[in-house]
Amino acid sequence: MDLKSKLEILADAAKYDASCASSGGAKRDSLDRKGIGSSGGSGICHSYTPDGRCVSLLKILLTNACIYDCLYCINRSSSHVRRARFSVEEVVKLTLNFYKRNYIEGLFLSSGIIKSPDYTMEELIRVARTLREDHAFRGYIHLKLIPNADPRLLEEAGRWADRVSVNIELPKADSLEKLAPRKEIGDIRRSMGHLRGVIDEQPRHKGRSFAPAGQSTQMIVGADDANDGHILTTSAALYGGYKLKRVYYSAFSPIPDASKALPLKAAPLIRENRLYQADWLMRFYGFDVAEIVSGGEAGMLSLDMDPKLAWALKHRERFPLDVNLASREELLRVPGLGVRTVDRILSSRRVRSLRGDDLARLKVPLRKVSPFIVLPDHRPTKLLDRADLQAWLKPPSTQQLDLFAA
């Protein structure tokens, strides 16, 4: 099989992994002229595909052959997809050639399990080690870890990679048992715990050498019956327990040659979007899972509106808030005010009292915030009492770009 065909198969097989982040890597450059590449700081998206996703890394599998039979996975052993396998050298050359042309920030390498978890992990490590040692590659490397590989191999992977990730796969442990019979939640959690242990023990002052961009994970949404409450509870426990940098949510999307045990229809992408918004509320806005879920019904977030607005509509007694007096924590709970805007408000109001046109200049969506705030020139007269507030907040689509002026 030629390189192009392999690339087609092994990129296609990798596209169900949501992450393509290249941020947080160690600060490196190649000013010493000995190698190639640089990293550090925020990541770069070198392109975008028509699904709106960023292309930052060469995201491929080493092979899509797999001895496991996880039902949600296109590469499961019982699937009829074409199989291919890159050699270590091929991945190394492809990465360097793409990198020199400024197509990518680096490599995100994953693999189906072949022979054994340890063998597979060793092959992935070989690619990363060859890039780092033989070619002095200073770009970004993200390695997917195989949960039940030997802990020593997990540690070696973290020495070459900027980021490592173990996929939690599904939000509920019993779904994992049903859909991925050979994956053990215990193995997955122990691997994450082990990585956190190693990351914690690194001396802070010397600059991190072990997985400087930390660890992340991915959860498939909509392949089992877990509701959004389950999903967010699991995420909160993962963030708290293993100091994950990110939990990625991937709406289950139909795969060629799907298994009968799975829903055939894609989970709505908007559900995935709502989960990301909720995840943000947990990490940056001081919300806890129960509060976020209270905005929806029966453990599910509202699909019609973002979770902060949904929460606020059910907690109208906490509004309206005076923009010139409310605390940072309170302002962060106003629908339509983001972290940056809130910080700008706080900095501006120290000098002068803010009015409606100040908020307009700060690009605040006025219609959305208006029922929830008080300004010297604005009082939400009984807006909060309206039963149809949700409908009122949604402007007709033709006016969406209009700034509310009243």
Per CB under 8 A, the segment of 125-133, 189-197, 296-304, 372-380 that binds other proteins is: 189-197
Closest CA to 373 of 306, 308, 325: 325
Q: Binder to other proteins among 130, 253, 294, 324 (CB under 8 A)?
A: 253
Q: Inter-axis angle of helices 117-129 and 88-100, to 10 degrees?
A: 40
x/- map, 3-22, other proteins, by CB under 8 A:
xx--xxx-xx-xxx------
Q: Binder to other proteins among 186, 207, 268, 376 (CB under 8 A)?
A: 186
Residues of span 265-304 touching other proteins by CB under 8 A: 265-266, 269, 283, 288-289
Q: Which residues, at least 6 apart from 175, have a Cβ–Cβ distance to it below 8 Å? A: 223, 224, 225, 226
DSSP state letter for 218: E
In the complex, minimum distance from the CB of residue 78 to other proteins, in angstroms, rounded to a whole number: 5
x/- map, 80-99, other proteins, by CB under 8 A:
x-------------x--xx-
CA torsion sign, 126 to 132 to 133 to 137? positive
x/- map, 192-221, other proteins, by CB under 8 A:
xxx-xx------------------------
- 249/290 Cα distance (integer angstroms): 19
- 289/42 Cα distance (integer angstroms): 28
> Of the two residues 32 and 388, which places its CB atom closer to other proteins in the complex?
32
Q: Does 398 engage in binding with other proteins (CB under 8 A)?
A: no
> Of the two residues 33 and 204, which places its CB atom closer to other proteins in the complex?
33
Q: Does 118 engage in binding with other proteins (CB under 8 A)?
A: no
User: Strand ranges (DSSP E) for 145-186?
Assistant: 163-165
Backbone φ/ψ region at 295: left (φ over 0), alpha (ψ -120 to 50), beta: alpha
Taken as a whole, the chain contains a residue count of 406
In the complex, minimum distance from the CB of residue 38 to other proteins, in angstroms, rounded to a whole number: 4
Phi, psi of 54 (to 5 degrees): -80, 140
Q: Binder to other proteins among 26, 67, 68, 69 (CB under 8 A)?
A: 69
